[in-house]
């Protein structure tokens, strides 16, 4: 009964942590609903687009007053004029498309709504979306399963330490799953998405790659001292590995990741590309 309860608790903690990391990341959609001058507005704007083709942007508008909508966008960190495209009305939705960008290329955009001659920006602050290549589900799904399972076991190991349960086999399994999910499948996912297997140390400063590497390195002492499972060194090294992994999962997903530098026509990682100017002038 006690073990069942601890597994359920570990699962709930893991799900909560995974949701937090995803929802706080820079690729989580921006959504909202509001009412302006009697017009109902609902929107969900994606901040990531995978695969070929342009990114669809839609907004729901319903009201009795004359309404029109325009998609406004430009390349991120590029000083150029904003492009304005009239959105097509399909039912009660207004739709337009952002032009496809190279892998890790970013566009910032918003929707300008005209209600009875008055213009409103939705949302108030422009949204940034990042383009990437399509990742096959046969790679992506196992990657997610292995990473989630390793986090679940990490939480369960922490509970085992607290309640003085055996944890040796849990550590072996956790590290094995984390190695496959993070250091084998992870780079393959990155290769499909952005064209590079590894952009962490020593080749770059991609935070996702680096935090995966750091977490794995902190598990190595825990593995070494497992020869004496309940020794002080084993308990301390395992506890430190758990704390590090927890801390890493508290960092929002995809922060400080790959970004296409339009000034150099190449992908940069872990640092902001230079802001470039075009002959078209300053931002509007």
Q: Would you kindly state where each structural domain of the chain is located, as residue ranges?
A: 2-24+135-253, 37-132
Average pLDDT over residues 168-193: 96
Rounded to 5 degrees, what are φ and ψ at 104? Answer: 75, 0
E strands in the chain: 30-36, 39-45, 48-50, 55-62, 67-75, 78-79, 83-86, 88-90, 93-98, 106-115, 118-132, 258-261, 266-269, 276-277
At residue 280 the predicted structure's pLDDT band, cuts being 50, 70 and 90, is: very low
| Separation between Cα atoms, residue 77 and residue 28, nearest integer Å | 20
Average pLDDT score over residue span 177-181: 97
**What was the pLDDT predicted at 33?**
95
The pLDDT assigned to 268 comes to 79
* Fold classification of 37-132 (topology level): Immunoglobulin-like (2.60.40)
Predicted local confidence at residue 281, as pLDDT: 39
Sorted by sequence, the CB contacts under 8 Å of residue 17 that are 6+ apart come out as 151, 155, 246, 249, 250
Residue 34 CB neighbours (<10 A) = 12
Distance (Å) of CA 93 to CA 84, 89, 97, 120: 18, 6, 13, 17
The share of the chain scoring above pLDDT 70, in percent, equals 94
pLDDT over threshold 60, residue 274: no
Buried b (16+ CB within 10 A) or exposed e, 124-141: eebbbbbbbbebeeeebe
Dist CA 244 CA 151 (whole Å): 12
């Amino acid at each position: 009964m006690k073990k069942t309860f601890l597994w359920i608790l570990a699962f709930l903690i893991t799900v909560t942590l995974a949701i937090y990391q995803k929802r706080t990341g820079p690729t989580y959609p921006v959504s909202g609903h509001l009412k302006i001058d009697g017009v109902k507005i609902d929107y969900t704007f994606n901040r990531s687009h995978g695969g070929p083709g342009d990114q669809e942007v839609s907004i729901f508008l319903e009201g009795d007053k004359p309404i029109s909508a325009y998609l406004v966008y430009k390349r991120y960190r590029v000083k150029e004029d904003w492009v304005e495209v009239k959105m097509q009305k399909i039912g009660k939705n207004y739709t337009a498309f952002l032009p496809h960008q190279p892998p890790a290329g970013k566009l910032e955009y918003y929707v300008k709504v005209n209600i009875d001659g008055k213009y409103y920006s939705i949302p108030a602050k422009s949204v940034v979306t990042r383009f990437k290549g399509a990742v096959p589900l046969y790679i992506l799904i196992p990657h997610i399963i292995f990473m989630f399972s390793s986090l679940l076991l990490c939480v369960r190991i922490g509970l085992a330490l607290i309640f003085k349960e055996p944890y040796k086999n849990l550590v072996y399994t956790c590290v094995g799953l984390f190695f496959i999910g993070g250091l084998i499948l992870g780079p393959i996912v990155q290769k499909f998405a952005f064209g590079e297997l590894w952009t962490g140390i020593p080749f770059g400063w991609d935070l996702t790659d680096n935090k995966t590497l750091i977490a794995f390195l902190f598990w190595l002492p825990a593995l070494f001292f497992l020869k004496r499972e309940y020794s002080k060194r084993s308990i301390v090294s395992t506890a430190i590995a758990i704390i590090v992994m927890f801390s890493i999962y508290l960092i929002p997903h995809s922060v400080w990741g790959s970004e296409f530098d339009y000034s150099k026509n190449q992908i940069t990682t872990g640092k902001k590309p230079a802001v470039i100017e075009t002959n078209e002038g300053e931002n509007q």
